[in-house]
Structure 1
Amino acid sequence: MAVSSLSFSSAILSKKLNLQYKPACSTCSWPSIIASTKDSYVDEERLGNCKRRSLLIGIGAVSLLPTKILLAQEKPPNYDEFVDLQDGYSYYYPSDWREFDFRGHDSAFKDRYLQLQNVRLSFIPTDKKDIHDMGPIEKVVAHLVKHVYSTPNQVPDVFDMQERTTDGKNYYTFEYTLTSPNFSRAAFATIAVANGRYYTLIVGANERRWRRFRNQLKVVADSFKVLDI
C-alpha cells in the first residue's frame, strides 16, 4: 500500500444518525461548506444540537475493521483514532480530548478544559470526484478562508498550503488565522473529495496558545483520511 503521509491503525468504530445537508453553492463551481463551519468562537459555545451520536467500541471490536486498516502503521503516542466506516473517514485526536456535539458537524473532539481547542469534521454532497476538481489549491483556499470560514468582522490570513496524496486520494491542508477586534483563532483545515462527499476537517485553538500546540494539532490535520464506502 503506497502511502505518502501518516497511516492508520483502528480501535474506534462509530454508528451514526442521518444528517441534513446544506445544498451546494449556486454561485460557484464547487460546493460551499455548511455555515456552521465558520470559525466563530460563538458557535463553539452552542453545543448539543448535533443529531449524531457515536458508539465507541474498544479493542475487542478491531476484528470488524478492514484488513487494510488493521495492517497500517501504529498511530503516534498520546493520540487516539476516530474511524467512521459508515461515512468513510478517519483521523487522530489527542488522547485526553473528549467527544462533543458540534452543531452541523459529523464528529468533534475538544480539549477537556479549553473548549476552543478542538477538531471537528463535516461533509456535504458533491458531484466532484477529486479535490482537484474544485480548482487549484491557491484558488480554493483563498475562497474558503475569505468567504466561507470568516465573518464580516474578521480579518483572514493564510500562512501555509500543502497538497498530499494518500492511497491515491488527494488532500489540501492549509494553516490560517481569523482575527476580530477582540479575538483571534488559528487553525489547520484539511479538505478532500470522495464517496460523493466534500469533507472538511478543521483543528484549531486560540491564537495565544497556537505556538505551543501548533505541532500537536498539525498531526491531527495530517492524519485525516477518507475511506472507500
Structure 2
Amino acid sequence: MVASSISLSCFSPCLSNKLNYLSHSNESPRNTAISSFSNVIGAGTETTSDDDGQFVGRLQRRPLLLGLGTLTASVLPANHPLKAEEIPAKYREFVDFKDGYSYIYPQDWKDFDFRGHDSAFKDRYLQLQNVRVRFIPTQKKDIHELGPMEEVVSNLVKHVYAAPNQRPTIYDMQERSVDGKNYYTFEYVLTSPNYSSASFATIGVGNGRYYTLIVGALERRWRRVRDQLKVVADSFKILDI
C-alpha cells in the first residue's frame, strides 16, 4: 500500500479558522483542573538532552492509509476520574471537570503554556516531546457526524494540519468507543527540511465541543517512546458537563 502524502501540522495557528465548518466562535481560555499525583513510581523517560534541530533518518515502517479496526474500551462512569490503582505506573492523570475531559501523561512531565491550547505537558528536557489538548465549539453531537474516519482524518491532514514545508505520512487509524462516546486516533510523521517529528492525535466530539489531543516526539526517538505515548493518546476521555 502506498502512503498518503498529506500534510499534518499540529502547530498550525489557523486551526480554528480552518475548522469553520464546525464553528466560528473563539476557543475557551485555559482553566484550572486536577492533576493526580497518585501512583508516582520512578521516572521511566530518559533525561539526556537531544539536539531538536537535527533530522536523523526515517523509521522503516510500512505506512497505512486505511483504518485497521475498531477498539472498544470499558472504563469508569463518564464523570468519574480514575482510581489511583487504575493509573498506570509512571503516569499521572489530568482531569478538567469544567471543560469536560481527562487524560494521563508521563509522571515526570511538567505543565506549560502551549499557545491556543487548553492544557499541555512536556518532557523536562525535550521540548518537542509533549502532549496538548484544545477544543472549539461545534453543533455536532458525535465524531461520526463528521464523516467516515478515513475521510475525516484525510481532510484534517490536507486542509487543517498541513504546512507548506512539511511532508507527512499517515501510518495508522483506529476508532474506539468509551462510555458511549467515539474517538478517532491516528499516527503520523511530519518531515520538515531540518527535522522530523512523529505524533498520535485523538479527536472526539461532546459537550458541544470538538476536542483534539496531540502527543508526539522527534521521530528519531519514536521507537523508544512510541508505546509510552500511545498510552496517553488512548487515555483521552470526554466527560459530561
Q: Counterpart of 1:121?
A: 133
Flag structure 1 segments of 5+ consecutive residues without an equivalent.
1-20, 35-49, 61-65
Instruction: Letter of the 1:102 partner, please give it.
Output: F
Whether the aligned pair in 2 keeps the contact of 1:145 and 1:176 (CA below 8 Å) is: no
Instruction: Using the TM superposition, give the Cα deviation of residue 75 of structure 1 relative to its aligned residue in structure 2, in angstroms.
Output: 1.1
Please identify which structure carries the higher helix content. Answer: 1
Match 2:172 to one of 152, 160, 175 = 160
Instruction: Letter of the 2:129 partner, please give it.
Output: Q
Task: Write the mapping of 1:133-152 to structure 2, written as runs, cut at 5 A.
Answer: 133-152=145-164
Query: What's the % identity of the aligned pairs?
Result: 66
Instruction: Using the TM superposition, give the Cα deviation of residue 223 of structure 1 relative to its aligned residue in structure 2, in angstroms.
Output: 0.2
Q: Deviations over 1:43-66 (max 9, x none)?
A: xxxxxxx96363657679xxxxx9
Task: Write the mapping of 1:56-67 to structure 2, written as runs, cut at 5 A.
Answer: 56=34
Instruction: Using the TM superposition, give the Cα deviation of residue 94 of structure 1 relative to its aligned residue in structure 2, in angstroms.
Output: 0.1
Whether the aligned pair in 2 keeps the contact of 1:24 and 1:126 (CA below 8 Å) is: no
Report the secondary structure of 1:213's partner residue: helix
Q: Counterpart of 1:95?
A: 107
Whole-angstrom distance in 2 between the partners of 1:194 and 1:51:
18
Instruction: Using the TM superposition, give the Cα deviation of residue 144 of structure 1 relative to its aligned residue in structure 2, in angstroms.
Output: 1.2
Instruction: Using the TM superposition, give the Cα deviation of residue 183 of structure 1 relative to its aligned residue in structure 2, in angstroms.
Output: 1.5
Distance 1:81 1:179, change over 3 A: same
Whether the aligned pair in 1 keeps the contact of 2:197 and 2:218 (CA below 8 Å) is: yes
Task: Write the mapping of 1:191-210 to structure 2, written as runs, cut at 5 A.
Answer: 191-210=203-222
Instruction: Letter of the 2:32 partner, please give it.
Output: S
Instruction: Using the TM superposition, give the Cα deviation of residue 171 of structure 1 relative to its aligned residue in structure 2, in angstroms.
Output: 0.3
Instruction: Using the TM superposition, give the Cα deviation of residue 148 of structure 1 relative to its aligned residue in structure 2, in angstroms.
Output: 1.6
Whether the aligned pair in 2 keeps the contact of 1:96 and 1:112 (CA below 8 Å) is: yes
Instruction: Letter of the 1:165 partner, please give it.
Output: S
Instruction: Using the TM superposition, give the Cα deviation of residue 83 of structure 1 relative to its aligned residue in structure 2, in angstroms.
Output: 0.1
Whole-angstrom distance in 1 between the partners of 2:131 and 2:35:
20
Instruction: Letter of the 1:161 partner, please give it.
Output: M
Task: Write the mapping of 1:1-229 to structure 2, written as runs, cut at 5 A.
Answer: 22=16, 25-26=19-20, 28=21, 30=22, 52=30, 54=32, 56=34, 68-69=80-81, 74-229=86-241
Report the secondary structure of 1:69's partner residue: coil
Whole-angstrom distance in 1 between the partners of 2:200 and 2:36:
29
Instruction: Letter of the 1:215 partner, please give it.
Output: D
Instruction: Using the TM superposition, give the Cα deviation of residue 180 of structure 1 relative to its aligned residue in structure 2, in angstroms.
Output: 1.2
Indicate the structure whose relative CO is greater, using CA pairs within 8 Å and at least 6 residues apart. 2
Instruction: Letter of the 2:149 partner, please give it.
Output: I
Structure 1 stretches of at least 4 aligned residues deviating more than 2 Å after TM superposition:
21-26, 50-60, 66-73
Whether the aligned pair in 2 keeps the contact of 1:24 and 1:31 (CA below 8 Å) is: no
> TM-score with structure 2 length normalisation?
0.70
Whether the aligned pair in 1 keeps the contact of 2:135 and 2:209 (CA below 8 Å) is: yes
Distance 1:113 1:139, change over 3 A: same
Instruction: Letter of the 2:226 partner, please give it.
Output: R
Instruction: Letter of the 1:85 partner, please give it.
Output: F
Instruction: Using the TM superposition, give the Cα deviation of residue 23 of structure 1 relative to its aligned residue in structure 2, in angstroms.
Output: 5.5
Aligned residues: 188
> TM-score with structure 1 length normalisation?
0.74
Flag structure 2 segments of 5+ consecutive residues without an equivalent.
1-14, 39-77
Q: Counterpart of 2:48?
A: none
Q: Deviations over 1:131-187 (max 9, x none)?
A: 000110001111112222220111111000000000110000000011111121100
